Amino acid sequence: MIRYALLFIIVLPAGIFFMSCSNRQKEAFREVETKVHSAVVPDIQTAEWAVEWWMPRHDSINKRLKEGNVDLLFIGNSITHGWENIGIEYWNKYYEPRNAVNMGFGGDRTQHVLWRLEHSDFTNISPKLAVLMVGTNNSNGDDNTAEEIADGIIKICKMLRTELPSTKILLLAIFPRDSIPTAQRQKNATASKLASVIADNRTIYYLDINSHFLTKDSILTRDIMYDYLHPTEKGYRIWAEAMEPKITKLMKKM
């Protein structure tokens, strides 16, 4: 009897933990629908430098999605987009064999990702996993607060759960930027932490690999991010290797 009682005591907190995570996710999803600010309102990218390629890229990716056979999605901004050039060696090594599609768009903010997801045809796909990392472009100056950036990230996850209900989401903390700790880097860190409340470790998982990019003194060097924002080839290698154990585990959970 004592043995069973002890087992009950050990198991119960875990159940409470998962229920609590799930409740926080549901509450966050409900709350974000009441928010009205730029980070949560779907919008087309209108930057002059992006107009010529942004919509054609969206159409091209949408065509690929309609073809089916997609097991892994990467969703984000230029940092994700960069897997196609600077990070191509590691994309080909880790993700091409997994039928991955890169939905990263240079310059995108959370509102642009929302628009793209809203206008994507997911009819023929049911990916095992979607990797999301976005928000740094919302953090410039007074464009959005940390709370608003988190709202945008949460709304993206909510949309993914609606459109791709059987797809797990790996939500990455926004990568560090600037050579030394700054207010903008801290804003992104706060936004990531706020958004992480939706991780229930059943449908949405949160992963912070930022320490892999920084020195012990929190310095970001040019050999890892050449402009203190976008990864070098070495940066993409670090990203892929730091994330691989989690991706392997989640893609086997189907």
Q: List the catalytic residues.
A: 78, 227, 230
CA distance 133 to 129: 13
CA distance 211 to 147: 23
Angle between helices 146-163 and 183-195 (to 10 degrees): 40
3-class SS at 209?
A: coil
Q: Environment class of residue 136 by beta-carbon count within 10 Å: exposed (0-12), middle (13-18) or buried (19+)?
A: buried
Burial annotation 55-91 (CB, 10 A radius, 16+ → b, else e): eebbeebeeebeeeebbbbbbbbebbbbbeebbeebb
